[in-house]
Structure formats: C-alpha cells, structure tokens
Amino acid sequence: MNPREKLRRLFDVAIAAADPALCVPPYLPPDDGGRLIVIGAGKASAAMARAVEQHWSGRLDGLVVTRYGHGVPCERIRVVEAAHPVPDAAGEAAALSIFELVSGLNEEDRVLALISGGGSALLAAPAPGVTLAQKRALTSALLRSGASIGEINCVRKHLSALKGGRLAAAAWPASVLTLAISDVPGDDPAVIASGPTVGDPGTTADALKVLDFYGIELPAALRQRLASGELETPKPGDSRLARSTFRLIASPRQMLEAAAAEAQRLGITPLILGDAIEGEAREVAKVMAGMARSSAQHGFPAGKPCVLLSGGETTVTLKGHGRGGRNTEFLLGLALALDGASGIHALAADTDGIDGSEDNAGAFVGPDSLARARAAGLDPRRHLAGNDAWGFFAGLGDLLVTGPTRTNVNDFRAILVE
C-alpha cells in the first residue's frame, strides 16, 4: 500500500465511523405506538432519516432538508434539497414547512430532530421582518471575512425563525429529542447547525460585535432591531425548552479515534493533535508542517512511521478570486512550508465530501508536489495568494473527489511521515 492509499484508507475509515446508518439506531426512542414527527436539517439529515425509517415500524412522518446532491430516497419522511452555504428559496420554504409541522402540537406528541452540520444554511427561514436577501448578503460577507463558525452562527441565530432554540420553542409542549452529528470545534450543541433545539447563550449584542469586528455593514433598520434586543433568541432555562433533550451521536473525536485505530493496524503510530483546531488555514499548515518535519528528523512528537491526525474547522480570509476550500488551502500552505521534505505525505478533506463549494472533498500532497507543479507551469505562491488552491491541485491531478458522503464531522487532516 503506497502512502496515498494509506491516507485514503484512513479517511474512508473516519467517514465510516460517522455513518448515520450506524450512529442513529442506538439512540432512537422506544416506540410507544404513537406518532413520531421527524424533522431535520443538515448534510447528513437525509441519511439520518433513512436510518430512522429502517428501524422504526410505528407511525412516522416528517420532513428533512439537506444540501443539493446529498438526498437519499425515503418512503415516509419527505426529503427536500436546498443550497449551502448561502441559503436559497428552497431552504426557506423547507424551513417554513418544518415550522408548520411542529406548530400546534400537544403534550402527547413526540418530535425527533435530526441535526447535522450545514443545518444553519438549510434552515433558511428568516425571522419576521428579515428578508432572505439580507440573510444571503450577510452570510456571503461572513464567509469571506475569515470569521469562525461560532461567530457566523451567532449572527445567523438572531436573524432566523428556527435557529437558536426557536424550533424547540415552536414545538412546545411536545417533547423533542435531538440526535446530532457534530461538525463544530468543541461539539457545542448551541453551535451545531446554530442550535435550533437548544437555548442560545449568545445575545443580539454579541451578534453586533461580530459584524462590527469584521466590518460588515447592516441595513440601518436591521441594526436597530438587533441593538434593541427585538430579535433575541430563547435562552437556556426557557420554559419552552424544558421538554427538549439533546443527544450527540457522532463527533470529530470519534472519527479521529477510528482513523488512529486503523493506523495502528497498518503499523503506523498515530498522534491525534486535536479535534477542534481553528485558525487561518495557511497558518495552521505552517505549524503542522513544523511538527511533521520534527517527527521526520528527530522522532518528536512521534517517531517514524507516524501519522499526525487532526480535525476542527479552519478558516480562509478571501482576498483573491480563485476557487477552493479551506482544506485545499491548508494543503497548499503545507506543501510550501514543507518545501519538498522527503517522506512526508498528506491528505486534508471535508468529511461531507465537499470542500467549500467545489466538487472535491480535498486533495493530496507529497514530497514531489512542488516540483511537479513547477514543471507543469503552476506557481504555488501565486495560487495561494489568489485563494486558488483548487486550481493548483486540479492542475496536478491531485484532487480527492468522493461525492457527497451524507455525513459531516468536519475536516479530516492526516500527515503521514514515512
């Protein structure tokens, strides 16, 4: 098995560890003979819904919304596809339909919420008085700014009809059980898909601080509504959330541990650097390149052969007009920092199968990447300056294309030191 095959094997094992078909069934509630209303949002929500259908023989209906291309056939639960990461009208309509499904329920009703990464963009119904166009513009600006996912979701919650605990509040007094697959650093329930079924500790003032810090302009009327607290979210301890229960069923840590176990089986020493790593992708790459070089030369922090594993969600501050996502940008920064160091290979990919908004999950880097690029007339520094990592790796034929995986436990990075 060559280095690239080993890295791909570790990635495939990590994905399998977060497969909804395995993660969902153990957490399903007991079937009491009553009706179960299933709602959900996220890149894994359709696969989660199918897992529910396959293990639930009682009365069942509902609706989930997932990203375009991430749907799967379901018989009793309706699956809608919508845009991600910038919301569209299909996501708005799906969110309004979910709101209608959970409104007017009673204490005997049960709601099962299937939540995964991507749900923030897919539950696109704006708060009253906020337009979809305003949400689209703010989302686009935040994504370009380099803001963290926690900061982006803080703003999203306060402009939404369903996020930040509002979905569970709408379902009151029915019971709500949330099964969640985490794609956020720290696995905070209030951040995963912007926490539609849990209380929001953040405030409208916090949302304004995020927008002001990144210099993002707001329409005057919307700024005033945030400043007044009119768009505040339900907080922890809100009585309408008293019958809402949250269960984390898959996380970045679990997928890294699965990959580490597989590395050991292959005779490679694994070192998990962390499951919640954040920061500018190209800067994180410099740090990890230093660790890989140290392992290769000095056997620290791990002796050869080893693999440095990490998860989390880096960011990219867009200054150019190229194509790519945070994982390919990380890899391009890593290749430049390693500068052809022998025996070091790497893979970085988004576990949902889509890096940013392109058609690839991520890419590969090897000791010969820069030499091959220059022979092909590709300037790695120019591609990095223009945020065009996709173009760089496409030119090398080194993109990792998996198609939608229908799960999402955030970024997977593996640096193999032979």
Of 216, 250, 284, which one is at a domain's C-terminal end? 250
Tell whether 102 and 61 lie within a shared domain: yes
Average pLDDT for 27-48: 95
Q: So what's the pLDDT on residue 321?
A: 87
Question: Could you tell me if 239 and 349 lie in one domain?
Answer: no
* 48-102 residue pLDDT tens: 999 999 999 999 999 999 999 999 999 999 999 999 999 999 999 999 999 999 9
Give dist(CA 173, CA 137) in Å, integer.
Answer: 35
In terms of Cβ atoms closer than 10 Å to its own Cβ (0-12, 13-18, 19+), residue 106 is exposed
Instruction: Give the 3-state secondary structure of residue 209.
Output: helix
DSSP-derived letter for residue 270 is E
Alpha carbon of 222 to those of 128, 131, 204: distances in Å? 11, 10, 11
Specify whether 236 is located in the same domain as 381: no
Q: What is the pLDDT of residue 275?
A: 96
Q: How far is CA 282 from the centre of its chain?
A: 19
Could you tell me if 236 and 317 lie in one domain?
no
Give per-residue pLDDT as tens, 302-344.
999 999 999 999 999 989 888 999 999 999 999 999 999 999 9
| Structure tokens belonging to residue 120 | 């923030």
Question: Which residues have CB under 8 Å from 104's CB, separation 6+?
Answer: none
CA 142 to chain centre: 16
d(C-alpha 157, C-alpha 192), whole Å: 11
Say what the pLDDT of residue 32 is.
86
| 135 against 33, higher pLDDT | 135
- 149-158 and 132-145 helices, crossing angle to 10°: 160
Quick: pLDDT tens for 150-162: 999 999 999 999 9
Rounded Cα–Cα distance for residues 152 and 350 (Å) = 18
- What pLDDT is attached to residue 303? 92
Q: Is the pLDDT of residue 398 over 90?
A: yes
Q: Identify the bridge partners of residue 345 per DSSP, sorted by sequence position.
A: 416
CA 284, 312, 16, 291 torsion: positive or negative?
Answer: positive
Residues 244-272 pLDDT 10s: 999 999 999 999 999 999 999 999 999 99
Largest CA distance in the chain: 68
Specify the CATH number for the domain of residue 197. Answer: 3.40.50.10180
Residues 171 and 72 grouped into a single domain: yes
In-domain check, residue 22: no
Dihedral over Cα of 263, 268, 272, 278: its sign: negative
Q: Does residue 114 form part of some domain?
A: yes
Name the residue with tokens 């890295």: 7
pLDDT band at 390 (very low <50, low <70, confident <90, very high): very high
**Beta strand ranges found along 137-174 (DSSP E):** none
Average pLDDT over residues 174-183: 97
Structure tokens at 348: 């970085």
What pLDDT score does 34 carry? 85
Provide the residue range defining the domain that includes 369: 3-11+253-417
Residues above pLDDT 90, as percent of the chain: 96
> Is the same domain home to 220 and 98?
yes
The stretch 384-394 carries a mean pLDDT of 97
State how beta strands 362-365 and 399-400 pair.
antiparallel
Instruction: Write out pLDDT tens, residues 4-23.
Output: 999 999 999 999 999 999 99
Mark whether 80 and 196 lie in a shared domain: yes
Neighbours of 32 (CB within 10 A): 10
CA dist., res. 284 & res. 238, Å (int): 39
How many domains would you assign to the chain?
A: 2
Flag whether 372 is in a domain: yes
> Quick check: is 18 in a domain?
no
Q: Which two structure tokens, joined as six digits, stand for 80?
A: 């809608």
Task: Answer whether 347's CB lies under 8 Å from 413's CB.
Answer: yes
Give me the pLDDT at residue 33, please: 84
The helix (run of H) or strand (run of E) holding residue 417 is: strand 411-417
Residues with Cβ within 8 Å of 96's Cβ and at least 6 positions away in sequence, in order, are: 125, 161
Same-domain status, 239 and 262: no
CA distances for 127 relative to 18, 157, 233, angstroms: 32, 9, 10
pLDDT score recorded for residue 356: 85
Q: Which residue has the tokens 């990490």?
A: 310
Same domain? For 222 and 259 the reply is: no
| Amino acid at the residue 8 | R
Q: For residue 241, name the pLDDT band (cuts at 50, 70, 90).
A: very high
CATH number of the domain enclosing 278: 3.40.1480.10
Across the chain, mean pLDDT equals 96
pLDDT digits (tens, 9 = 90+) for 100-150: 999 999 999 999 999 999 999 999 999 999 999 999 999 999 998 999 999
Decide if 287 contacts 249 (C-beta within 8 A).
Answer: no
State the Cα–Cα distance between residues 15 and 38, nearest whole angstrom. 24
Q: Which residue has the tokens 């590709």?
A: 378
Displacement of CA 342 from its chain's centroid (Å) = 32
